[in-house]
């Protein structure tokens, strides 16, 4: 037992309590809270954030962290990881002068509203000056935290994906650009199309909800330890490993809610797999944005859009929607949910084109952060890249550079994780197929062993390992984006009858 | 501006934030949280409670409260009330030795479970020893807080109903016993019965919910500042005056959910009527249990079970339930929802017999706290009193002394407020009828002026006035229980064709 760590515990408990309370307020705000509650409730959340800040930056906490680091050998593995996370959070909060942090918080409190209005009114000019300021602050803050010679964009990436830097990402996105862009062109040039009209129609919300609950449970979401609700945009959150919550939303495209539920269930299964020993500590969550997205997209795409997945359950879906799907064969359905269609909106992209949307954002973020790109030029650069990589060109900024909320919140370095996650998933899939009869398990409706593999090798570590370390330990190989490209080109080559060059 | 009060503000903000967070967790736990979440979440709430305790009993806070009291003249009315509430809470938390408080918290954490099991298994003996301990602790804690010569039960009453003591309550319950008990006997002896069988049946939950939402809004609940959900037992809670939440539950008695929604709406309208200036302060809630119950029962009974209330809306109810109510006239319906039937369970009691259930609990609590009644004797005393006052005798403890949760939580002195609330309401009703065309407003479906009167004279003061002061200021008269007895005997005398002696 280390005395400094023992003394740190009550501080860690308070950090945990303030964090969990904030998460519950956030959940409540997105799913239930009445319209007019916001202002008063924001005040409460602000006070809780202040308390969180005060505990983490307490002089006594700093002293205890220092002592824990000196006495590192007497700490357990978990304790060491907790101290590391605490120290990193402390530095994130402290390196930035309080006054500038406040200014930035005020700016981003306004900026999402300005962005939303600009998007609605299709008016980039009203957002540009705000975005310019946000970029400036973000760069300044990164510069406060940068180690000697560290690139600013690498500082930002660290917050979402430890172990990855511009160099690695350049290689990753380079592979996508070199191989997927021409493959997509070939596929679209082939002129082959898939019918998925039956996915749109009069799908009653109650039925969609019942189907969502069935599939959430089918893939492994545990309703004794979880909740499913409705919000404007689907998300997953968790209070701890016995309370993990997903949301969805309903419209007349049945596949939207269906696959968003399976996607969020993937996120949730990660958090439900955190062991009791780690939950309610600073290392008791998924290790990174990318690894989280790897799990959600693994369930959504590699499992959920796999023909074998539907063998034991497609009839159930037909029974619920006899009018809409009664005469659609399983083969037609599976082709429909895998239809490739280059489009302008990332969140509606199919599995194949998705990462090219991310590629574009990555290239532009690098230009903004590392090359001082003039914000005014964004709409044109955006449109050019869409035309080049996806073959479609936005006519309006609302369906172009203004479509995502992230930059208005100051989140730079976040986008790459979306694509990384897909690539992690493909690498895991390749390895798992060598370890188990993956396709057979899906066909038999026996997802347990797949989930158990992920829990055993990924979930149970929480933040004890980085995503990159996990990949190495599981697959015996460093991150390798080629698996991702191979997975996509094989699957979609077969589906569309085109071959890779 | 008072300097001590200014310095107190950040502490008050933290008290507010911890309190609000705890309320949200409580709400979430009762309405949504998954089954297995409890243990981990309890840990978080425990830490927040600890923080709340720490702030309120902080030495610096004590010093500032002392200074504020010295400099009382430079404080505004609201500030003075806030300091008073803070000091009272401080004393509540501090007078009890920390160790004993912890023991008691542990005891009551177990005792509600033991009570629930005992009730389920109809086994008083397994609960008796725990109850005995709870009574002992409660008396000891009251003795720590009692002023020179103050009765222990008066200390307990103070927490729920400032301004009321045993002497006043003896007079109040004396009037009920003297006048209502013989009136009820006469009524039941008359042999007249009312048919309300149509209130039970196949009432679909979705329809009940739609009806509930309609009536909540009709009586004045504001869904832009409120939420309605489902829980095991109906309750109202509020985060602040822009976020007030009610719950209900559904079964095959349509009047259960209907009147619980109107009842909780009454509570909610009180909290929605708290002005911005008071909300999110220690005086920004309803002033007492009794005054709260006066509002909820005012809406439920004086308004909701009034024939005139149904004139503009009964057809709407029939339209929603044509099969069940299509051939039931409004007169039959109104008689049905006012049926008197002496019964064993308080929460299912009709308007007339309700306060006699409370009378029994009041008499027994006094015996337990002031006369050292042996806990073992409770079942018989309970049964005897039910037989004497209500003419019904429980055959089992589960429908007798074990029916309510309150004592297992250590809540003594709470029950009287249920009856006081009804009596406050009747006194207000008597006065209001002299000020406005109350019945005409109901008939015209114009509840605004009634609600506005309550807001203007009661709600807007929050905790700035006691319930007794409010009654005096509004009606020009001290609390007078005769209005309550007159209201009941007149209404039910007419309905059943019996006269008071």
Among A275, A332, A263, A268, smallest CA distance to A303 is for: A263
Q: Which of A254-268, B109-123, B316-330 has the lowest mean pLDDT?
A: B109-123
Q: Which of B16, B41, B226 sits opposite A34 (nearest CB)?
A: B226
Please report the pLDDT score of residue A106 as a whole number: 87
Over the stretch B65-96, which tens digit does the pLDDT of each residue have? 999 999 999 999 999 999 999 999 999 998 98
Chain A residues lying within 8 Å of B242, measured CB to CB: 34, 36-37, 39-41
A316, A366 Cβ separation under 8 angstroms: no
Chain A nearest C-alpha distance from B108 (Å): 23
Tell me the H-state helices in A57-123: 59-70, 77-94, 98-120
Interval A467-501: pLDDT, tens:
999 999 999 999 999 999 999 999 999 999 998 77
Q: In chain B, whose CA is at the least distance from the CA of A52?
A: B14
Residue of B nearest to A242 (CA): B37
Active site residue B264: yes
DSSP string for B448-499: HHHHHHHHHHTGGGTTSS-HHHHHHHHHSS---THHHHHHHHHHHHHHHT--
Whether residue B501 has pLDDT greater than 80: no
Q: What is the mean pLDDT of residues A161-172?
A: 97
Specify which residues B226 forms β-bridges with: B244
Residues from chain A contacting residue B41 (CB–CB below 8 Å): 20, 239-240, 242-243
The DSSP element (H or E) to which A245 belongs, if any, is strand A243-248
Sign of the Cα torsion B473, B476, B482, B486 reads negative
Radius of gyration of chain B (CA): 23
How far is A281 from A19, CA to CA, in rounded Å?
A: 11
The predicted model gives A34-47 an average pLDDT of 93
Of the candidates B333, B273, B280, which has an alpha carbon nearest to the alpha carbon of residue B460?
A: B273
pLDDT, position A141: 95
Test the A interface: residue of B20, B42, B55, B245 with most A CBs within 10 Å: B20
> What does the pLDDT look like over A440-463, one tens digit per residue?
999 999 999 999 999 999 999 999
Q: Which residues of A touch B44 (CB under 8 A)?
A: 16-17, 20-21, 239, 280
Q: In angstroms, rounded to a whole number, what is the distance separating the alpha carbons of residues B431 and B127?
A: 45
B327 pLDDT more than 80? yes
Alpha helices in A337-395 (DSSP H): 351-370, 378-390
CA distance A499 to A501: 6
Tell me the chain A residues in contact with residue B17 when contact means C-beta distances shorter than 8 Å: 44, 47-48, 51
The full DSSP string for A183-236 is: HHHHHHHT------GGGBS---HHHHHHHHHHHHHHHT--TTSEEEEE-SS--E
Chain B residue numbers touching A34 (CB-CB < 8 A): 223-227, 242-243
Q: Do A225 and B279 touch (CB under 8 A)?
A: no
Distance from CA of A15 to the nearest CA of B (A): 10
A465-470 CB contacts, 8 Å cutoff, 24+ apart: A465/A287, A466/A162, A466/A163, A466/A287, A466/A288, A467/A161, A467/A162, A467/A163, A467/A164, A467/A287, A467/A288, A467/A290, A467/A291, A467/A294, A467/A420, A467/A424, A468/A162, A468/A163, A468/A164, A469/A163, A470/A287, A470/A291
Q: Give me the percent of chain B exceeding a pLDDT of 70.
A: 100
Q: Closest chain B residue to A276 measured between Cα atoms?
A: B40
pLDDT at B98 over 90: no
Measure B267 CA to nearest chain A CA, in Å.
Answer: 17
Q: Which chain B residue shows the shortest CA-CA distance from A49? A: B17
Cβ–Cβ gap A34/B227 under 8 Å: yes
Residues of A in contact with B14 (CB under 8 A): 47, 51
Subunit contact A240:B33, Cβ cutoff 8 A: no
Closest C-alpha to B487, from B429, B412, B440, B414: B429
Chain A residues in contact with B40 by the CB 8 A cut-off are 239-243, 279-280
Residue B1 has pLDDT above 80, yes or no: no
The β-bridge relationship of strands B243-248 and B226-230 is parallel
Residue B149 host element (H or E): none
- Reported as a single tens digit per residue, the pLDDT across A268-289 is 999 999 999 999 999 999 999 9
Is the per-residue pLDDT at B324 higher than 80?
A: yes
The alpha carbon torsion through B12, B17, B23, B27 (nearest 10 deg) reads 160
Helix A482-496 / helix A415-435 crossing angle, nearest 10 deg = 80
User: Which of A13, A24, A34 is nearest residue B47 as measured by Cβ atoms?
Assistant: A13
Task: Check whether B122 has a pLDDT greater than 90.
Answer: yes
Measured CB to CB, residues of chain A less than 8 Å from chain B are 13-14, 16-17, 20-21, 24-25, 28, 32-37, 39-41, 43-44, 47-48, 51, 223-227, 229, 239-243, 279-280
Asked whether the beta carbons of residue B242 and residue A43 sit closer than 8 angstroms, the reply is no
Contacts of B39 in chain A (CB under 8 A): 242
For the stretch B449-455, contacts whose Cβ atoms lie closer than 8 Å and that sit 24 or more positions apart, written own/partner, are B450/B303, B451/B219, B451/B220, B451/B269, B454/B269, B454/B270, B454/B273, B454/B295, B454/B298, B454/B428, B455/B269, B455/B273
Range A180-214 burial, b when 16+ CB lie within 10 A, else e: bbebbebbbeeeeeeebebbeeebeeebbbebbee
Q: What is the pLDDT of residues A188-206, one digit of tens each?
A: 999 999 999 999 999 999 9
Q: What is the mean pLDDT of chain A?
A: 96
Question: Could you tell me the pLDDT band of residue B106, with boundaries at 50, 70 and 90?
Answer: confident
- Among chain B residues, the shortest Cα distance to A279 is held by B40
Which of B14, B17, B243 lies closest to A37 in CB terms?
Answer: B243
- What pLDDT shows up at residue B109? 82
End-to-end CA, chain A: 61
Rounded CA-CA distance A30/A224 in Å is 22
How far from B286 is each of A5, B161, B448, CA to CA, in Å?
Answer: 44, 11, 20
Question: Are the Cβ atoms of A34 and B239 closer than 8 angstroms?
Answer: no
Distance CA A338, CA A359 (A): 21
Span B218-253, pLDDT tens digits:
999 999 999 999 999 999 999 999 999 999 999 999
- Cα–chain-centroid distance for residue A180? 21
Q: Which residues pair with B57 in a beta bridge?
A: none
List chain B residues with CB under 8 Å of A238. none
Q: Which of A44, A217, A229, A284 to mutate to test the interface with B (most CBs of B within 10 A)?
A: A44
- Answer yes or no: is pLDDT of B110 > 90: no
Q: In what order do the strands lie in the sheet with B236-240?
A: B226-230, B243-248, B236-240
Contact between B271 and B236 under an 8 Å Cβ cutoff? The reply is: yes
Instruction: Write down the residue that tokens 């099969």 correspond to.
Output: B323
Q: Give the separation between CA A320 and CA A315, rounded to whole angstroms.
A: 9
Structure tokens at B47: 């830490």
Cα(B412)–Cα(B152) distance, integer angstroms: 10
Q: Would the CB atoms of A48 and B17 count as touching at under 8 Å?
A: yes
Query: What is residue B500's predicted lDDT score, i.e. its pLDDT?
Result: 78
The C-alpha atoms of residue A142 and residue A152 are separated, in whole angstroms, by 6
Cβ <8 Å between A240 and B37 = yes
> B74 is written with which tokens?
């430079």
Going by C-beta distance under 8 Å and a sequence separation of 6 or more, which residues neighbour residue A198?
Answer: A324, A325, A328, A332, A333, A336
Chain B residue numbers with beta carbons less than 8 Å from the beta carbon of A43 are: 280
Residue pLDDT, tens place only, A302-336: 999 999 999 999 999 999 999 999 999 999 999 99
Query: What pLDDT is recorded for position B180?
Result: 97
Report how far residue B239's alpha carbon sits from residue B18's, in angstroms, rounded to the nearest whole number. 11
Q: Which of B14, B47, B223 is the closest to A17 by Cβ?
A: B47
Burial of A171 (0-12, 13-18, 19+ CB in 10 A): exposed
Per residue in A347-384, pLDDT (tens digit) is: 999 999 999 999 999 999 999 999 999 999 999 999 99
Q: Taking all residues of chain B, what is their mean pLDDT, rounded to a whole number?
A: 96
ipTM of the complex: 0.93
Mean pLDDT within A434-438: 98
> Which of the residues A49, A53, A229, A243 would you substitute to probe the B interface, choosing the one with the greatest number of B C-beta atoms within 10 Å?
A243
DSSP string computed for A5-40: HHHHHHHHHHHHHHHHHHHHHHHHHHHT--GGGHHH
Nearest CA in chain A to B20: A44
CB contact set of A457 (below 8 Å; sequence gap of 6+): A470, A473, A474
The predicted model scores a pTM of: 0.94
Residue A339 has what pLDDT? 98
pLDDT tens column, A75-122: 999 999 999 999 999 999 989 888 898 899 889 888 988 999 999 999
Inter-chain touch B44–A227, beta carbons under 8 Å: no
pLDDT at A499: 84
The pLDDT tens digits of the residues spanning A53-68 come to 999 999 999 999 999 9
Indicate which residue of B161, B264, B293, B300 is catalytic.
B264
Is A68:A12 a contact under the CB 8 Å cutoff? no
């Amino acid at each position: 037992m280390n005395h400094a760590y023992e003394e740190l515990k009550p501080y860690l408990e308070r950090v945990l309590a303030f964090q969990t309370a904030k998460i519950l307020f956030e959940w409540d705000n997105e799913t239930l809270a009445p319209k007019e509650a916001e202002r008063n409730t924001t005040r409460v959340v602000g006070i809780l954030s202040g308390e969180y800040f005060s505990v983490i930056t307490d002089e006594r906490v700093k002293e205890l962290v220092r002592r824990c680091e000196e006495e590192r050998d007497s700490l357990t593995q978990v304790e060491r990881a907790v101290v590391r996370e605490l120290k990193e959070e402390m530095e994130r909060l402290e390196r930035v002068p309080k006054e500038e942090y406040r200014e930035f918080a005020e700016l981003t409190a306004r900026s999402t509203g300005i962005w939303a209005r600009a998007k609605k009114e299709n008016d980039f000019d009203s957002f540009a000056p705000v975005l310019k300021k946000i970029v400036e602050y973000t760069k300044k803050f990164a510069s406060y935290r940068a180690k000697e010679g560290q690139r600013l964009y690498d500082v930002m990436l660290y917050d979402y994906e430890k172990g990855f830097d511009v160099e690695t990402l350049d290689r990753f996105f380079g592979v996508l650009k070199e191989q997927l862009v021409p493959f997509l062109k070939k596929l679209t040039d082939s002129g082959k199309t898939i019918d998925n009209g039956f996915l749109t129609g009069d799908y009653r919300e109650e039925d969609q909800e019942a189907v969502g609950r069935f599939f959430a449970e089918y893939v492994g979401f545990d309703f004794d330890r979880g909740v499913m609700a409705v919000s404007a945009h689907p998300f997953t959150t968790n209070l701890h490993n016995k309370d993990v919550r997903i949301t969805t939303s309903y419209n007349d495209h049945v596949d939207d809610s269906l696959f968003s539920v399976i996607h969020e269930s993937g996120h949730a299964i990660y958090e439900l797999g955190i062991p009791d020993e780690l939950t309610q500590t600073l290392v008791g969550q998924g290790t990174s944005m990318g690894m989280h997205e790897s799990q959600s997209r693994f369930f959504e795409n590699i499992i959920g859009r796999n023909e074998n997945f539907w063998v034991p359950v497609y009839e159930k879906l037909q029974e619920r929607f006899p009018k809409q799907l009664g005469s659609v064969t399983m083969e037609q359905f599976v082709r429909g949910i895998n239809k490739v269609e280059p489009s302008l909106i990332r969140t509606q992209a199919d599995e194949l084109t998705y990462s090219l949307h991310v590629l574009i954002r990555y290239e532009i973020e690098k230009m903004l952060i590392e090359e001082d790109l003039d914000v005014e030029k964004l709409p044109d650069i955006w449109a050019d890249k869409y035309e080049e990589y996806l073959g479609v060109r936005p006519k309006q900024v609302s369906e172009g550079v203004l479509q995502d909320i992230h930059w208005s919140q100051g989140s730079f370095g976040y986008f790459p994780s979306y694509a990384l996650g897909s690539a992690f998933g493909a690498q895991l899939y390749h390895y798992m197929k060598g370890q188990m009869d993956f396709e057979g398990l899906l066909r038999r409706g026996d997802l347990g062993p797949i989930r158990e593999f992920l829990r055993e090798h990924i979930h149970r570590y929480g933040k004890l390992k980085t995503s990159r370390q996990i990949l190495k330990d599981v697959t015996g190989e460093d991150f390798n984006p080629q698996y991702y490209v191979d997975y996509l080109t094989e699957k979609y080559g077969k589906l569309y009858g085109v071959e890779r060059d």
